[in-house]
Amino acid sequence: MTTHKVGYLIGSLAKGSINRKLAKALVRFAPPELEMSEISFKDLPLYSYDYDADYPPGGKAFKAAIAAVDAVLFVTPEYNRSIPGGLKNAIDWASRPYGTNSFTRKPSAVIGTSPGAIGTAVAQQNLRSVLSFCNSPQMNAPEAYIQFTPGLITDDGEVTNEATADFLRKFMQDFHVFIARVRSVLPKDA
């Protein structure tokens, strides 16, 4: 049984974020072949190419954390019909300087939740565009736009709606299959 290390980025920096609850649920539903760990970006300064010649320790540590995983899961809210600025800043840090993009050939998936009826659909499309430019193979299906209702997911990541739980469990199983498929043709060390 091959184990894949998956780093997940939570787009919201808020401690009580509903997307943090969703991330906890996804960790619960991950198959045993996926070793899940959060990659935090809350302490990164705003990116500037002025740092490219001498990356600060936080930027180096973030890039190293992305490099250490086999795949990346993005769990993001939608802010003003796009991804949060902190998440975009983190992607900029990981993808720079030119020629050292940490997302190149790194399988990824995108999911998010919002109280709105379309979940985080627009933000996810925005993020997919950025990840395409970063040369990250993306799991395109199933798309996962989760409408968050009060009590849907507890603070500990327990999903109270069985249909939603089944969907999230299947999403994580599909992500495992996708990672294995991508890694079979794009080995991490190649």
pLDDT along the chain (190 residues), means of 10: 94 96 98 98 96 95 96 96 96 95 97 94 96 96 95 97 98 98 84
CB distance 141 to 109 below 8 Å: no
Task: Give dist(CA 34, CA 94) in Å, integer.
Answer: 22
Please report the pLDDT score of residue 1 as a whole number: 74
Cis (ω within 30 of 0) for the bond into 77? no
| Beta carbons of 151 and 115 less than 8 angstroms apart | no
pLDDT value for 189? 67
Write down the pTM of the prediction: 0.96
Distance (Å, rounded) from C-alpha 166 to C-alpha 164? 5
pLDDT of residue 186: 87
Give CA angle at 176 (69, 9), nearest 5°. 45
Tell me, what's the pLDDT at 80?
A: 93
The confidence score (pLDDT) of residue 190 equals 58
